[in-house]
Amino acid sequence: MLIKKLTNDLLDKFIIEMNRRENITKVQRQIVDPLIDYAFHKLYPYILVSAIIFFLTFLLALSIFFLIVKKSMKNN
């Protein structure tokens, strides 16, 4: 019972401290921002390749569409 009360008190104090604006700012600047920056730098090549593949697929679909339209106009 004593450990449970101690744990609850400790967690409550931790939550109160973490809700202070200066602590939120510290956590954001020192933990969250570097983590997001690191993840973005690691994922950037994959995002770039995906965007290029999407763009090329779109161009291919557009060219096929124009070829079909051109052929259909020629047949009429």
Are 39 and 33 a contacting pair, CB within 8 Å?
no
Contact 18, 24 (CB under 8 A): yes
Contact yes or no for 66/57 (Cβ under 8 A): no
Residue 70: is its pLDDT beyond 80? yes
Residues contacting residue 23 through CB under 8 Å, at least 6 positions apart? 17
Q: Tell me the domain boundaries of the chain.
A: 2-75
Predicted confidence (pLDDT) per residue in 1-52, tens digit: 889 999 999 999 999 999 999 999 999 999 999 999 999 999 999 999 999 9
Closest by CA position to 62, among listed 73, 54, 50 = 54
CA 69 from centroid of its chain's CA atoms: 39
Look up the pTM and report it: 0.62
